[in-house]
A = this chain, B = another copy of it.
């Protein structure tokens, strides 16, 4: 239903042993990229994610390890034949910073739409084989994916992201028959549309079962832990979180540099009642993040330590 691949798991500076922290979501054949540090496009080649189908790029913040791959990636997307517009989402100041990075590029064959610091949830809709972004309104609630952002606590304005796939309630034939709904409008009602037929108004709940849980993915980097994060990630199927430091003794560094330890990420996962925690964004000083795994698992058992190329598939139960 939704696949997410860690393109890189490093923080701070690009190193030889891992790519910089970035992830790519694949949803119904279209893609959303989260951050683009120096080398992210090389990781995309390595993990064969392709360039053409990225419709949305979400930027967490403007530190180099999260954005210095953007100008090269956007060039390569142009060279790959992209002509459809793309949307870049990020903190306030985004357009100015990205345009600065692109100053040397005389021509890109597609348009960039910028959304700075979105004020409410964004609805992502598959339309004409492309993932379009719309502000959600009461008149227009229908969407394939809901994107929300949260302000984090880092040394630079920083956004966390969550993605939610709605799951339609089950269609119940018995209920439709019981409510004497004409067969001609079953499909419309199944897809949530209030429908008039032969002068009568019919409502979706006349044919649908109970609401069902969708799929929730959250992506939090870089930040100190905050109460708002717990609420934001609550009930996520997968919570991808920075863990710049594995060792509990590095908590002072984490505090000073506005990052987290594995233990702090695990505490958020526990309090946010998520299903699985996936830790990423490792300090260049940490060669083998896995050796610190139990600093997370002793607090939150279902923890995975990220590595470049790791893919998780999220499906409805």
Contacts and interface: CB of A to CB of B under 8 A. Distances in A.
Interface of A: 13-16, 37-39, 41-42, 45-46, 62-65, 67-69, 71-72, 75-76, 79, 96-97, 99-105
Enumerate the 6 nearest inter-chain pairs by beta-carbon distance, A residue then B residue, closest first: A100-B103, A100-B100, A62-B104, A38-B72, A68-B72, A97-B104
Tallying the copies of this chain within the complex gives 2
A45 B13 CA distance: 11
24 contacts: A13-B79, A14-B39, A14-B42, A14-B72, A16-B45, A16-B46, A37-B72, A38-B39, A38-B42, A38-B72, A39-B39, A39-B42, A62-B104, A63-B104, A64-B71, A64-B72, A64-B105, A68-B68, A68-B71, A68-B72, A97-B103, A99-B100, A100-B101, A100-B103
Contacts of A15: 42, 45
Contacts of A41: 13-14, 38
Contacts of A39: 14, 38-39, 42
Nearest to A155: B106
Contacts of A72: 13-14, 37-38, 64-65, 68
Contacts of A68: 38, 68, 71-72, 75
Contacts of A46: 16
